[in-house]
A and B are shown apart, each in its own frame.
Chain A
């Protein structure tokens, strides 16, 4: 559970808009060890999401290199990246991104469709994950029948279903009220304690202070990277 999980060197991303070139990320280098809980902060447009998308192998960098779990992923093809995402990564989005008219259970099992897991084990596995986020009773509910917090829990269960090394959450509490946000952070903290590396993007200092390390971005660069004495989210709930 120790060692480097993420290593980026001079990672850069620029967007071409006609003749304009928008630099969204300008040479970011850092390492994140396995088992860390990292919060990424910064003003709007500072490149946080761009950075997360690169970490999540959803986008190709325009420059620099990226090693994930010892494997250089910045040069991989689309299909190879799909494999990496399926095996090693879990995503939690601001707006949950659950499939409508699809049960919680099927939503959670979605990544398993694209894995090598035999079909008969998938349901069992997905049920376990739903139980882990406290929604065992809601497995037949559709997203529209669940509260925002519950939907985000389903999304977290989906992120966990492939036993990822890294969970990436871009403003996971952005659409939730403050109490539900703390509940979600408590869940993420618990997962982190179980060994999963977590990177969370947030605008809120309260939320960032549940992490063990806070990285601040501005204009596509890291301006601050400091350890943090994490607050215990679960304790705040009682």
Chain B
């Protein structure tokens, strides 16, 4: 008995009970679609995290001003600046694992260009900042030595700010007023997109740290050397933990902290946080896929149930087939093919539904989804395997019938 004929019989049998076949498939359809959607959503979340790690630059450590204990009351993070520009230079100079260390000052305020205005954040930086963040200037130039040492009235502009102030016109050589201080745009930054907290990283201005301190942020900071944070990039391949430890040691020494005294700064290892986030999103995706595959299992049990009913209903047919020459294995194949056909058709519909569903989710919920070929192949293979696994018992039962008893069955 050849395969095409067997397949034809199976399709015929499934067509006879269209409604029942459709309902039986439903379990598999839902299961397969759910698995594909869950993997797509999980993959999307993971891809987003990976992209953030990439956009942040890898091997980043951030040093923040910490708490100072004064009269028993501890201030919060950064409540009082404790780290200085010179701490940053020292880190870059003295620790060999460090590729670059960039002390930054942060501020925010209104920016005006002509009659357009925009509210944004600005950073006072050293050129190391661009290296640490692996941020390129796509138009214009970076800061020159003289501009760094002389608090030059120059600024680098992020894409979002450029768009809002100048539209499609080139912002180069235009003068913008940041908190009323006129600065000349000398370069435009490459687009970075969203940060992991969902902030627009292109909504930014960068200026020399001296400019920010003396001209823009105003008198309070003018004489101090303190900074809000130091962004540090560790050499590729160097041990993050040891770089971290050496940096703490250097800072404690510079801040003259006694043994037993708390650090007056915080060290944040961002890529570690992101990697943890990536790992947890991976676990989440796996968990969701596992839950979805439970419905595949339930679908499989549905197939087994219907196949058992079908074998009982068609006992006389089985008897007749045996009487005209079908061997046990012909009957086994017939029912197995029927079950697998059921699960594969269900699987195919489920795949289409899963692809459509994950596109819809991306469209409606705005979540990022990532369809993977391997998840589709996996789901199809799983559906087929379920057909074989849950179809085998009923098929075996059918093939074990004795011809005369099957024929006489009422």
Query: Residues on A close to B: CB < 8 A?
Result: 53, 56, 58-59, 78-79, 82-83, 85-87, 91, 93, 97, 99-102, 110-111, 113-115, 119, 158, 162
The distance from the CB of A77 to the nearest CB of chain B, in whole angstroms, is 10
Residue B321 CB within 8 A of the other chain? yes
A86-B324, A99-B320, A110-B324 known; A58 vs B403 contact (CB < 8 Å) = yes
Residue B251 CB within 8 A of the other chain? no
Docked pose: A221 CA to B285 CA in angstroms:
74
Residue B316 CB within 8 A of the other chain? yes
CB-nearest residue of chain A to B317: A99
Return 28 A-B CB contacts under 8 Å, by A number: A58-B322, A58-B323, A59-B403, A78-B328, A79-B328, A82-B327, A82-B403, A83-B325, A85-B323, A85-B324, A86-B324, A86-B325, A91-B324, A97-B320, A99-B317, A99-B320, A100-B16, A101-B12, A110-B320, A110-B321, A110-B324, A113-B9, A113-B326, A114-B321, A114-B324, A114-B330, A119-B2, A162-B324
Name, among B1, B9, B317, B403, the residue most crowded by chain A CB atoms within 10 Å (CB to CB).
Answer: B403
The distance from the CB of B16 to the nearest CB of chain A, in whole angstroms, is 5
B138: chain A residues at CB < 8 Å are none
Question: Which 4 pairs across A and B sit closest by C-beta, in order of nearness?
Answer: A86-B325, A114-B325, A111-B324, A58-B404
A53-B404, A58-B407, A79-B328 known; A114 vs B1 contact (CB < 8 Å) = yes
CB-nearest residue of chain A to B5: A113
Contacting pair A82 B325 (CB below 8 A): yes
The distance from the CB of A85 to the nearest CB of chain B, in whole angstroms, is 5
Contacting pair B12 A91 (CB below 8 A): no
- How many contacts A-B (CB < 8 Å)? 65
Interface size on B, residues (CB 8 A): 24
CB-nearest residue of chain A to B324: A111
The distance from the CB of A204 to the nearest CB of chain B, in whole angstroms, is 22
Residue B245 CB within 8 A of the other chain? no
Chain B residues numbered 299-344 whose CB sits less than 8 Å from any CB in chain A: 316-317, 320-330
Residue B19 CB within 8 A of the other chain? no
CB-nearest residue of chain B to A96: B320
A102-B12, A113-B1, A119-B2 known; A59 vs B325 contact (CB < 8 Å) = no
Known: A59-B404, A79-B327, A114-B327. 20 other contacts (CB 8 A): A58-B322, A58-B323, A78-B328, A79-B328, A79-B329, A82-B322, A82-B327, A85-B323, A86-B324, A91-B324, A93-B407, A97-B407, A99-B317, A101-B12, A110-B320, A110-B321, A113-B1, A113-B9, A114-B326, A119-B5
The distance from the CB of A17 to the nearest CB of chain B, in whole angstroms, is 14
Residue B4 CB within 8 A of the other chain? yes
Docked pose: A36 CA to B8 CA in angstroms:
39
